[in-house]
Amino acid sequence: MGGAWEWAVGVLDWGVANWSYPGEPDRGILPRLTEHMRLAYLSILIGLAVAVPLGLACVRWKALYPPVLTGVNVLYAVPSIALFFLMLPYTGFSDWTAVVPLALYTLVILLPNVVDGLRQVPEHVRQAAVAMGFSPLRRLVFVEMPVAVPVVIAGLRVASVATISMVSVASLVGLGGLGQLILSEGFRRQFDAPIVVGVLLTVLLAFVTDALLVLAQRGLTPWARRDDRRSGRGRRAVARASAGAAARAGSGTPAGERTTPGERQPWTS
C-alpha cells in the first residue's frame, strides 16, 4: 500500500514539475495537451462539417445513403496506424496527416446520426411548418435541424471520445499530442510517469469534452428541459430516440441491423 502511494505521489510530482517551461513553449505537458486538443477538435469539426451536408444529401436522395454508408464503413475497417503512415507521402509531417484520417473515422458515427436525426422529425411537425408558410430552407434550418440536434449530439459525444483517444496513435508519425508524451518521454526512456500522466490526461480530456457536449445539448434544446419539468417524459423519449440512433450508428453494418438501445458504439484502434 505504502509503495503504491509513493508511486502515485512520484507520478504527480513529475507531472507538476514538467507541466510547462517558461521560455520554452514546446517543452512540457501543457503544449502537448493543447496540441492534442487542436488535433482532436479540428478532426471532429471537419467531420461534422462533412457529415451534415452529406447527411442532408442522403436524406434528400435516398438511393445515395446505402453506398455512402458502406464506403464509410469500409474506411473504418482500415486501422488508424496504417492510415497515418499511408498519408505520410501526401501530407508529410503536417497536422493533416492526423486530421484527415481522424475526420474520416468520425463520419462512420456522425453520418448515420445526422440521417437518423433528420428522418425522425415527426411528420406532423414538418406539416405544421409547411402550413405556417416556412420555405423548405427555413424549415430545414429552423425546424428540422433543431429537432435533430439531440441525435446528432449523441453521435458527437461518441465520436469525440473515440477521436480524443485515437489522436495518441498519431504519435507514431511524430504528431499525437499527449501520445508524444507517452511514446518519446515515457516509453523510449523506460519511464512510467509520463505514460500515466498522458493516459490520465487523455481520459480526462475525453470526459470533459463529453460533459461540454451534454451542456451544449441542454443549451441548444431548451424545450426538452421544459418538457422534462412539465412531464418528465419528454426527455426520456428524446434519450431513447438518441440512444437508438447511437446504437444503430455503432452496428457498423449497412442498414438493417437489429437495433436495441444502449451503449454499443465501435471502438477504433
Partner 1 sequence: MDILNELVAWFADPAQWTGSAGIPARMAEHVYFCLLGLLISAVIAVPLGLLTGHTGVGGFLTASLANFARALPTIGVLFLIVLAAGIGLVPVVCALVALAVPPILVNTHEGVRGVEPRLRDAAFGMGMRGREVLFKLELPVAAPLILIGMRTAAVQVVATATIAAYVGVGGLGRYIVDGQARQDLTMMLGGSVLVVLLAVLTTLLFAGLRLLLVAPGLRAEAASAR
Q: Which residues bind partner 1 (CB under 8 A)?
A: 74, 77-83, 85-86, 88-89, 158, 161-162, 164-169, 171-172, 178-179, 182-183, 186-187, 190, 192, 195-196, 198-199, 202-203, 206-207, 251-253, 255-269
As a whole number of angstroms, the distance between CA 88 and CA 97 comes to 6
What residues have CB less than 8 Å from 92, skipping those under 6 apart? none
| Residue 190 Cβ vs partner 1, minimum distance, rounded to whole Å | 6
Which residue number, 234 or 266, has a Cβ lying nearer to partner 1? 266
Closest contact distance (angstroms) between CB of 207 and partner 1 is 7
Identify which of 50, 34, 267, 30 has the alpha carbon closest to the alpha carbon of residue 159: 267
Taking the least distance from each CB to partner 1, the nearer of 43 and 171 is: 171
**Cα gap 4→87, rounded to integer Å:** 42
Tell the smallest beta-carbon distance from residue 53 to partner 1 (Å). Answer: 24
Strands (E), the chain: none
Amino acid at 249: A
Nearer to partner 1, 118 or 169 (CB): 169
Least distance to partner 1, CB of residue 186, Å:
6
Distances (CA, A) of 172 to 76, 166, 179: 19, 11, 8
| Least distance to partner 1, CB of residue 120, Å | 16
Contact 80, 97 (CB under 8 A): no
| 97 closest CA partner among 176, 7, 183, 2 | 176
